[in-house]
Amino acid sequence: MDISDYYIELKTGSSKIITIDKLPSGYSESDIKWVSSNESVASVNNGTVTAVGSGNCSIKAVTSDGKNSIECTISVTE
C-alpha cells in the first residue's frame, strides 16, 4: 500500500487530497477507510484532508478488514 503524501503542512481552513497510489492485491478504493487521529486538527473524507485547527495529527488509510494501513502526518498552522 502506498500513498501520494507522507507529510503535509496546511493552513487552517485549507484542504489537500491524499491519494492511494498502490492498493494491496484484492482491494479496491471502496475498501479503504480514512481516519484522523485528531479531528480538531484535521478531518478527512475519502482522502480529502481539511485543516481545522493548529497542531499535528496523522491521517490513516486502513483497509476494511484492518489488515493493511498507511499514514500521513499532518501539520496545521494558523
> How many angstroms separate the CA atoms of 26 and 23, rounded?
8
pLDDT reported for residue 36: 98
Structural domains in the chain, CATH included, are 2-77 (2.60.40.1080)
If you count them, how many residues does the chain have? 78
Among 77, 10, 14, 15, CA closest to 47 = 15
Written as one letter, the residue type at 73 is: T
Record the pTM.
Answer: 0.92
H helices of 1-78, where? none
pLDDT band at 42; cut points 50, 70, 90: very high
Band (39; pLDDT cuts 50, 70, 90)? very high
